[in-house]
Structures are given as structure tokens and as C-alpha cells.
Structure 1
Amino acid sequence: MGKGDKKTKRGKINRGTFGIRRPRIKKKPTIEQKLNIGNKAVPK
């Protein structure tokens, strides 16, 4: 187990891939996006 192992976190970092052991970090919504969620244009 180590850098060459596909199933370990260290192996995923070495290969530059993602999976169950190393999920992608999702971007958090910014404050501006949070404020604009309910402010959609309403047709008259």
C-alpha cells in the first residue's frame, strides 16, 4: 500500500484522480449568491 495503490488516499493523490477515498471538495456558495437566491425577477 502506498503511492502505487489505486485504492488508497495517497495513491489517488499521486495519480491526481478522485474517488470514494478522496472526494472532490465542493465550493461553498458565496454571500452574494446566498442573498440572490430568493430575488428572482417576477413578470408583471
Structure 2
Amino acid sequence: WNYDPRTGRVLLLSAEDNLGKGAGGQAVQSFNLMFGLEETAGLQNF
């Protein structure tokens, strides 16, 4: 993020992990394994 004091605005950039195929999906998979859940719990195939 970046704050521009001249305009009083904040610039914020973000990225969305599309369809769980990236790091977000891997994080859910790792969480599931750590807590003894089925590896694919909470993940859907599209």
C-alpha cells in the first residue's frame, strides 16, 4: 500500500487466488493436514 499525503488517498493492490489453484489452495491443504482433516476438505474442483 502507499499513502499519498498530497491527495489524502491510499493506493492498495491485491491479487486473488483464482479457483484455489495457487498458494491459497496450498495453504488450505496444509491446514487440513495439520489438523487431521481430509486433505481436500474445503476445496472444490471447477
TM-score computed with the length of structure 1 as normaliser: 0.28
Q: Which has the higher helix share?
A: 2
* Structure showing the higher strand proportion among its residues: 2
Provide TM-score, normalisation by structure 2. Answer: 0.28
